[in-house]
């Protein structure tokens, strides 16, 4: 992740496809979340983390939102 941050700091845009959310949230300024190939949400890590549609799709429902 540190290498990705250093490359990005040079002004290079990086497209990262990853399922490990801790890694994605730690290096991304903007995210696009796909669900079955369709765009579900787009925004900052904070916006994505709080997005009810993302929570539903990836955590299985709002009962997990507080976890």
- Rounded distance between C-alpha atoms, residue 6 and residue 4, angstroms: 5
Tokens of 56: 């539903």
> What distance in Å separates the CA atoms of residue 46 and residue 49, rounded to the nearest whole number?
5
- Cut 0.75: pTM above it: no
Query: Is 45 exposed, middle or buried, given 0-12, 13-18 or 19+ CB atoms closer than 10 A?
Result: middle
pLDDT per position as a tens digit, 35-55? 999 999 999 999 999 999 999
Give just the sign of the alpha carbon dihedral 62, 37, 16, 31: negative
pLDDT tens-digit readout, 2-31: 999 999 999 999 999 988 888 888 899 999
């Amino acid at each position: 992740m540190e290498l990705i941050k250093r490359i990005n700091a040079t002004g290079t845009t990086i497209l990262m496809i990853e399922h490990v959310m801790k890694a994605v949230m730690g290096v991304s300024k903007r995210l696009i979340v796909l669900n079955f190939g369709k765009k579900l949400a787009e925004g900052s890590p904070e916006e994505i983390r709080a997005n009810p549609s993302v929570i539903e799709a990836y955590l299985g429902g709002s009962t997990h939102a507080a976890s």
